[in-house]
Each structure stands twice: as structure tokens, then as C-alpha cells.
Amino acid sequence: MSAVPVSVRDATGPTVTVPRWWRGLSWRALVGAGGVAAFLVAAVLAGAVSPYSPDALAIGSRLEGPSAAHLLGTDQLGRDVLTRILYGLRPSLESGFAAIMMAAVVGVALGLPSGYFGSLVDTVVTRVLDLLVAWPAVFLALAIVLLLGTGELQVIVAIGLAEVPVFSRLVRSIAMVAARSDHVVAARAAGASSLRIMLRHVLPFVVTPLVVQFAIAAPQALVAEASLNYLGLGTHPPAPSLGAMVSEGQSFLAYAAGPIVFPILVIVALVVSLTLLADGLQDRLDPRSRIGAR
């Protein structure tokens, strides 16, 4: 096994421990993290970097190819494609993050008591989640958007809800094991309440796998966000979004490929970065690959 030891123990005295979680991060994780960081910076600095407004129309320069003035060309309304991509990153990253955050919070809120108490609580939670899982995630998201109307918030709820079962099941499985361990019995013997035990003696063991799951869910959420926007269920025009740009660009594909190809490339690059990061994090943080800390 190539796991990195967590502590170094010698026979003569107390043990020495170095915080090493950041060591042994693979090249994949570093490349992924670099890519994600670059996109984040680009989204945040969109206004400062770009000389154009994302909504500025220029009828005289429609569907132009890349040039010095418009690095990635212009779209059917003469808007700068690079500017719209930079601005379009914002809702994608925001919605994706918010959706997973929601899934994680709801997943913990359901999974923790489900795994800790077991029996009836577990049965009810599991059955309700089964109802969610029975639907393909995209159909579920579609149904929610159709039910709640279009908009960024609806997209967040739709994607978040679709991801809830994954998080809840993960938390539940860890909570089940932790709840039966001696340190939980010891806490109960000391008079701790169930709430205290769940928060102090079970939740800490959930954090690491949760981070990994967060990273795994991120690219999925991003693709889902782009898909919903592509279908016109997300942001309202003329606000830019990567998915919407792809769908708008379709009609003019015969005249110019830029408005559709560049957003797609950005989505792909972002998803690949996130996936690499998740992969690297998982290798590093997955408890099954760790020794020493049990």
C-alpha cells in the first residue's frame, strides 16, 4: 500500500505529527485545481478584464470571426463572445456551487439522523429518497423547473434536489458505522444527548467523504446547469449563460462556429478541471486509502 503514514511513532518518546493532508496531491489534482482557480478568477474579474459590456449590441459587426478587437469573435447580435463567456461563467459557477451546497446541507440533515437512529427514521428517509432516485436526474430537474418556473433559483433547487440522495446515502452509511462505535457509547454513557452525539461524535467523521463527494458532484452540477440553460429553463435573456449561448449559437452555426464552439470548449475545460480535482482529492482523502487514523 502506498498510503502516507499520518504519524511517526518512535519508541523513545512522544509522537510527532505533521499535517500532511496536502502532501501527495497528484498532478491531476494540481492541474484541476489550477484550472478551476483560473475560471474562478476569470468569472470574478469579468468586468475588469473585458472592455465590452456583455449586452452591448453592435449591429455592424455580427457573427465576426476572432480578431484583435474581439478575441473570440462576435455573436448574431454583435456581442463580444469572450465577454459573454466570462460573464456567463458566473451563473454557472454560482448555481453549481449553491446547488451542491444545498444538496450537502439537506443530505446531512436527512442522512445523519437516518444513520444514527436507524429503524423508523431510517425507513421513512430512505423511502422518500427512493422516490427521488426513481427519476432520472434530468427529468427530475425538468419537472421541478416546470413546476416552479424558470430562473436561476429554480435551477439551483432542481439540481440540488437531484443530488440530495447521493449525499444523504453517503452520510447515512458513515453515520451508521459511527453510531455503533464505542466512542459514541462512551459519550452516551457520559450523558450526552442524541443531538450532541450526532454533531460532535458522528458529523466530524462525515466531513472528509463529504468534501470528496462535493468535488465529485461539482462537474455533474455544472453540466446539469448548462443543460437546463440550454433548454431555456435557467437565466432569462439577454443575461449571458454558457448553456444559453450554445442554444442561441445553434441557429447561426452555418454562418459562424465561434459563438457555439467557444462556450462548449469552456464547459468542457471546466468540467475536466473539476473532475481532475475531484479525482485527486478522492485519492488523497478517501478514508479507505488511509492508515493510522482509522
Partner 1 sequence: MQARRDELPPSVDVRDLVVQFRVRAPGVGPRVVVRAVDGVSLRVGRGATVGLVGESGSGKSTFGRALLRLAPASGGSVRIEGEDVLGAGHRELRALRQRAQMVFQNPIGSLNTRMRVGRIVREPLDIQRIGDRVSRRARVRELLDQVGLPRDAEGRYPHELSGGQQQRIALARALASAPSLIICDEPVAALDVSIQAQVLEVLKDVQRATGVSYLFISHDLNVVRHLAHETYVMYLGGVVEHGPSASVFASPRHPYTRGLVAATPVADPERARRSPLLRGEIPSPMEVPPGCRFHTRCPFAEERCREEAPVLGETGDGGRVACHFWRELPREDPRAAPTRGGA
Helix, strand, coil % (nearest 5) of the chain? 70, 0, 30
Question: What residues contact residue 193 under an 8 Å CB cut-off, 6+ apart?
Answer: none
CB 99 within 8 A of CB 225: yes
Residue from 106, 142, 192, 272 in contact with partner 1 (CB under 8 A): 192
225: cell is: 446547469
Burial environment of residue 218 by CB neighbours within 10 A (0 to 12, 13 to 18, 19 or more): buried
Window of 47-55, 94-102, 179-187, 225-233 that interacts with partner 1 by CB under 8 A: 179-187
Window of 8-16, 71-79, 225-233, 259-267 that interacts with partner 1 by CB under 8 A: 8-16
Distance CA(272)–CA(34), nearest Å, equals 11
Window of 41-49, 60-68, 243-251, 286-294 that interacts with partner 1 by CB under 8 A: 286-294
CB 88 within 8 A of CB 240: yes
Residue from 56, 195, 196, 199 in contact with partner 1 (CB under 8 A): 196
Residue from 22, 131, 191, 288 in contact with partner 1 (CB under 8 A): 191
Consecutive H or E run containing 86: helix 81-117
183 binds partner 1 (CB under 8 A): yes
Window of 35-43, 75-83, 84-92, 197-205 that interacts with partner 1 by CB under 8 A: 197-205
67 binds partner 1 (CB under 8 A): no
For every residue of 191-254, DSSP letters joined together read: T--HHHIIIIIIHHHHHHHHHHHHHHHHHHHHHHHHHHHHTT-SSPTTS--HHHHHHHHHTTTT
| Number of chain residues interacting with partner 1 (CB under 8 A) | 25
Residue from 59, 182, 254, 288 in contact with partner 1 (CB under 8 A): 182
CA distances from 165 to 7, 63, 110, 233, 246 (A): 35, 44, 9, 23, 30
185 binds partner 1 (CB under 8 A): yes
Least separation in angstroms between residue 15's CB and partner 1 is: 4
Least separation in angstroms between residue 225's CB and partner 1 is: 34
| Radius of gyration for the chain, computed over Cα atoms and rounded to the nearest angstrom | 23
Task: Write the binding mask 198 to 227 for partner 1: x where contact by CB under 8 A, - elsewhere.
Answer: --xx--xx----------------------
Residue from 51, 65, 136, 292 in contact with partner 1 (CB under 8 A): 292
Provide the binding-site residues for partner 1, judged by CB under 8 A. 6-7, 9, 14-15, 17, 181-183, 185-192, 196, 200-201, 204-205, 292-294
